[in-house]
Amino acid sequence: MHPLLIALLAGVGFIIAYHTYGRWLGGKIFRLSANAVCPSRELADGTDYVETSKGVLFGHHFASIAGTGPIVGPAIAITWGWFPAMLWVFFGSIFIGAVHDFGALVVSLRNRGQTVGDIAGRVLNRRVRLLFLCILFLALTIVLAIFGLVIASVFKMFPSAIIPCVIQIPIAVAIGVWLHRQGRSLKLPSIVALAVMYLTVIYGNEGFLFDLNSAMAAWSPITWVVVLLSYSYIASVLPVWTLLQPRDYINSLQLISVLGLLVLGLLVASFAGGASVVAGGERVALELAAPAINPNPVGAPAMFPFLFITIACGAISGFHCLVSSGTSSKQLKREPDARFIGYGAMLTEGFLATLVILACGAGIGLGIAAGSGATLMGTEAWQHHYGTWTSGLGPALGAFVGGSANFLEAIGIPAGVAVALMGVFVASFAGTTLDTACRLQRYIVQELANTVAPKTDGSTDVLAWLRDKHGATVFAVVVAAVMAAIPPAGQEWSLANAGRGGLILWPIFGATNQLLGGLSFLVVAFYLWRRSVPIWFMVGPMILLLILPAWAMTLQAFVGANSWMAQGNFLLVGVAVMTMVLEAWMVVEAIKLFPRVRGVVEEGAVQPAVSG
């Protein structure tokens, strides 16, 4: 099948799904109402609960949920062939991922912007709430500990991306102030921000800026972790309109414009061929270099279940429930906008994952450097990169950046600018995930403090500092920094090793992330079941996401010579066992409760306000 046809079928399919299945969910299942008063108005505080236009909120939500997940996951999973990866991305996005994100957003909207973990305590029971919050805390700690290293790695690979990413911060603050004034239009700041961003990409690696980029790229991982977590603390405690919203918005402008350029490059390469690998030579025909199905790659784990764990964000990611219920639900202006934000953003991410598959499966075949001045083409180029299994960040990003830069070169963008643009693309996604995760972790820490030691009148509040946004954020940042500072297993502490500690628990994150999606589905299903709303459409996805991660985690921990147990990695084994015990406990609690609560609204249920 031709790459362009795959992109067209996927794009049209996502649009049809949005206007059919998404519309049905919004109208018949969630019954979105324009008269409902959203938490952003009911609880407006100017910091977390802030009414936000649909376009700006889409930018925040899309940039926050995407991260590097829909890039790295598909770039690795294409090892098993482009066809299974594409099927999981397409059908997973429509029937699982978008439903999950949409459901978490709506349920949070109707519970005053509370997180899914908090809501679990009412729709199931208090024990489940504590279990859920513990899993959320673990998952977010891993994200905060690892993403500083991710961004540092991207900057080391693509130094020209540093200045454009730094420039985003003052631009974001300026746009935030502009928009906060009533009556201001988005058009002018959008155009200016996009123009400045592209100028920094084109000219941000020349003269003294080149020296600055090179110096910052040489920083140690722990330096980047400290700098980025400090930035995340600031972004987390400031009002969302000051930095978080506008930064995510301008990121989304750039990211969506890059998606447009990639589609244009794919279109041109399909009809005119890719850029010639030698000056004045013939253009290169575009075709799929990756095999359709590659069931037994050298050194790779079994396609089933690991394909469904490797591709997370591009199809379904449990982390998204935290964004939907943690930040986006507190900013949504009108309930009907939930379909555009929750369902639409996930489909957009699915299309991004589609382009990643095509960049790694076809774009890479337009030519990659293989050392000694040699350039490999077509199947040879793909085999050079994917000849053996690797789950590393560097190779996956290299495949995506190389393949997508080839698409951009097909429309005349110089190679250096194309690589810089894609480097900024990846680093920007990672940065928005980091600062959003920090704010989300602050909410989780505050909720855990309220759960472990509820505040009572007349008593000493020993956890008062964790209920405060500054105290909770400092705690979240320090825990992540301490984890990051631990050297990888078997290595001594040094400045070069410090900052890589997140890698210790990173192998378990994929399964934990998907498991979180299953548990989020469980909470949404119970919320609907208690209101006699049909849940048949989410039973299958929920079971899938409860079984597959546990299966993958069991194989990773106990099966084979490369298992964590065989390698003596008892920390990972312990965390895996603890996670599966928590999952089993929650599922047992749910099964016991399920037959007794149909049509029985939970005690303490929040009654959404309705405008007159």
Question: Does 532 score more than 80 pLDDT?
Answer: yes
pLDDT at 498 over 90: no
- Residue 22 within any structural domain of the chain: yes
Lowest mean pLDDT across 38-52, 180-194, 380-394: 180-194
Going by pLDDT thresholds of 50, 70 and 90, the confidence category of residue 442 is: very high
The C-alpha atoms of residue 159 and residue 161 are separated, in whole angstroms, by 5
pLDDT at 457: 63
| Terminal Cα-to-Cα distance of the chain (whole angstroms) | 55
Section 17-31 average pLDDT: 97
Q: Is residue 513 part of a domain?
A: no
Would the pLDDT of 354 be above 60? Answer: yes
Specify the pLDDT at position 460: 64
pLDDT at 563 over 80: yes
User: Average pLDDT in the 350-377 region?
Assistant: 89
Which band of pLDDT confidence, cut at 50, 70 and 90, is reported for residue 456? low
Instruction: Say if residue 305's pLDDT is above 90.
Output: yes
> Is residue 346 assigned to a domain?
yes
Instruction: Classify residue 590: in a domain, yes or no.
Output: no
Q: Would you state the pLDDT for residue 379?
A: 92
Mean pLDDT of the chain: 89
Q: Tell me the residue range of the domain where 169 lies.
A: 3-454+463-505
**Residue that the structure tokens 């978490």 belong to:** 104
Task: Please tell me the predicted confidence (pLDDT) of residue 371.
Answer: 67
Identify the pLDDT of residue 419: 87
Residue type, 310: T
Task: Evaluate whether residue 143 is within a structural domain.
Answer: yes
Is residue 137 in a domain?
A: yes
The pTM (predicted TM-score) of the whole model is 0.92
pLDDT digits (tens, 9 = 90+) for 243-268: 888 888 888 888 889 999 999 999 99
Is residue 385 a part of any domain in this protein?
A: yes
Decide which of 404 and 458 is more confident: 404
* 342 in a structural domain: yes
What does the pLDDT look like over 537-547, one tens digit per residue?
999 999 999 99
Map residue 204 onto helix, strand or coil.
coil
Could you tell me the pLDDT band of residue 183, with boundaries at 50, 70 and 90? low
Q: Would you list the DSSP string of 545-601?
A: HHHHHHHHHHHHHHSSTTSTTTTT-HHHHHHHHHHHHHHHHHHHHHHHHGGG-TT-P
Confidence of residue 612 (pLDDT cuts 50, 70, 90): low
- Per the structure, the count of domains in the chain is 1
% residues pLDDT > 70 (the chain): 96
Q: What's the rounded mean pLDDT across residues 122-145?
A: 84
Task: Write down how long the chain is.
Answer: 612
Q: What is the DSSP string of 57-113?
A: HHHHHHHHHHTTHHHHHHHHHGGG-HHHHHHHHHHHIIIIIHHHHHHHHHHHHTTTT
State the average pLDDT over residues 136-159.
86
